A and B are shown apart, each in its own frame.
Chain A
Amino acid sequence: MSGDGSAPVVRIKDLHKSFGDLHVLTGLNLEVRPGECLGIMGGSGTGKSVALRHVIGLMEPDSGTVEVFGKEVAALSTKELRALRRRVGYVFQEGALVGWLTVEDNLALPLRERGKLSEPEIQERVAEALETVHVTGAGKNFPAEISGGMKKRVSIARALITRPELVLYDEPNAGLDPEISRSINALMREVSDKLGVTSLVVEHRIECLQRVADRVLFVHEGKVLVDEPTEAFFQPSHPRLRAFLGYQQEPAR
């Protein structure tokens, strides 16, 4: 971890982003502290993915700042951005594994491209990563040949293989049935606890964040409305969040 232990890993200040007339983020503020797993909850199309894209430097803010590891992402040179991205893992919603590479080659790709490790070392890391995500025996398969849950595991493994300090998850439960979702959530929790990786999880499924997050934010119309530890978050008092979570008039169960 860079700097002193208490400095936030990600700090987003007053982030605004519009696409034409569509104001997606309207003053988003958040901090991710070292070692924690922060969940962001919000409906579809509220700009959760857009926020993540700012963190990894795929988009630039209209105004406001996004700092990762204490550096303002939009102000980095290409080289510095590359260096920053090497410290971050990104798990895409659809997995985004390279279709023409086997599972093993997908995992080895970032290491091979970086060219720092020898081939035996890479093989070792790949095997280790597959073990971490509890995938064995599918290494020689292509992504199209494995199940959705397996794909998600492999994409988590790919995000972890470079040993990042921060992992971003974009809707990790999307497209998975409840049982597989639970196992993926358990895996994410395991990664966060065992490897001590800081995590930022974007999801609209209650169960996922309940299981995985230490703290949850509720984003509505481009702003953070609620910021609570997980337990308290799911006993909501804010009317908008109550409506979102499906609580009617009766008090929280």
Chain B
Amino acid sequence: MNPDSLPSWWPLLLTVLFAAALSHAIWNSNGPRALLEEAGARLVLLAAVFARLHHLPKRRGWLLIQVRSAAIGNLHVISLVGVFIGMIFALQAGIELARFGQQDQIGPLVAAGIAREMGPFITALVLASTYGSAMAAEMGTMAVSDELTALEVMSIDRISLLVLPRVVALAIVCPAMTVISDMVGIIGGGFVASAQLGVGWDLYLDSAFTSLSGLGQTIPIPKDVFGGLFKSFCFGIAVALISCASGISARGGALGVGRATSRAVRDATITIIVANYFLTWMIYR
């Protein structure tokens, strides 16, 4: 359809539809007050985790276990997804660039796009749906089977024992996995560049990595990479925090655990997407 043929009230209709969907969502979440309370509770939990950072030496065993299962358990998923994201990106960008005979620029374009945006974003989404859901289910099961109450009755610091290692683990694993997904993504882009766009491997890789090595002004490491990793760091914390919080608040048996898990993945996904915009704005404005 030709855009000119659209009537002038078209944007207005879109806005109204969007507003309707948004108010429907807010209405369904027990009203904005509950939403705010939930967000507040998560910030309080985050503060409580920070206040317990000095417990980390004592919790290093659990931290290591969490890091290992989050990283090793999802390495293959991240790699597979990362390669294809790189390929898609290269294909889309390549088609446009080829129109202007600029396909040589494919390397920098893919590298920047992946390091800044797609790598951190996709890695966090994958971790939210695989590891975040698992965390929420674990905590939820503990909540509905009185295990959390038992810990409370024994005066055991549950945040220090359960939440701290998980949050710190994802704060480490998410950026680390992002580095991997960045690398495989750039390589995936290279497949497409060389096989479908006729750009040589050497030129592709050379231009890709050169473009990434532009140092930032405040911090003397490549800005695109650092910006992406900083986002990953925030996403990792958010995913762990949201998953733990919704698991902990699970009530009512298996059904409650299921609800908590789906709520965790939903909220983490929304948070990653919304936070991504604001973090991007902060880093690159």
Closest chain B CB from A71 CB (angstroms): 16
Interface check A190, CB cutoff 8 A: no
CA gap between A58 and B151 in the complex, in Å: 12
Chain A contacts for B146, CB-based, 8 A: 92-94, 96
CA gap between A127 and B6 in the complex, in Å: 79
Chain B contacts for A178, CB-based, 8 A: none
B145 in contact with A94 (CB, 8 Å): yes
A92 in contact with B156 (CB, 8 Å): no
Chain A 149-163, CB-CB to B under 8 Å as 1, else 0, gives 000000000100010
Most buried by A among B146, B149, B152, B153: B153
A82 in contact with B151 (CB, 8 Å): no
Interface check A189, CB cutoff 8 A: no
CB within 8 Å of A: which residues of B?
138, 141-142, 145-147, 149-157, 161
B155 in contact with A96 (CB, 8 Å): no
Chain A 58-89, CB-CB to B under 8 Å as 1, else 0, gives 10000000000000000000000010011010
Bin chain A's interface residue count: 20 to 34
CA gap between A93 and B50 in the complex, in Å: 34
Chain A contacts for B142, CB-based, 8 A: 98-99
CA gap between A96 and B152 in the complex, in Å: 12
B150 in contact with A96 (CB, 8 Å): yes
Q: A110-B154, A113-B154, A113-B161 are in contact. Are A98 and B149 (CB under 8 A)?
A: no
Most buried by A among B138, B156, B157: B156
Measured CB to CB, the nearest residue on chain B to A78 is B155
Closest chain A CB from B237 CB (angstroms): 22
Interface check A40, CB cutoff 8 A: no
User: What would be 16 A-B contacts, judged by CB atoms less than 8 Å apart?
Assistant: A56-B153, A58-B152, A82-B155, A85-B155, A86-B155, A88-B153, A90-B150, A92-B149, A92-B150, A94-B145, A96-B146, A96-B147, A98-B142, A99-B147, A109-B156, A113-B161
Q: A96-B146, A98-B142, A99-B147 are in contact. Are A90 and B153 (CB under 8 A)?
A: yes
Measured CB to CB, the nearest residue on chain A to B153 is A90
A113 in contact with B156 (CB, 8 Å): yes
CA gap between A85 and B154 in the complex, in Å: 7
B141 in contact with A99 (CB, 8 Å): yes
Measured CB to CB, the nearest residue on chain A to B144 is A94
CA gap between A56 and B146 in the complex, in Å: 14
CA gap between A98 and B146 in the complex, in Å: 9
Measured CB to CB, the nearest residue on chain A to B148 is A96
Interface check A97, CB cutoff 8 A: yes
B153 in contact with A98 (CB, 8 Å): no
A85 in contact with B153 (CB, 8 Å): yes
A107-161 at interface with B (beta carbon < 8 Å): 109-110, 113-114, 158
Extra 17 A-B pairs, beta carbons < 8 Å, given A58-B153, A98-B147:
A56-B153, A58-B152, A88-B153, A90-B150, A92-B146, A92-B150, A93-B146, A96-B146, A96-B147, A96-B149, A97-B147, A98-B142, A99-B145, A110-B156, A113-B154, A113-B156, A158-B154
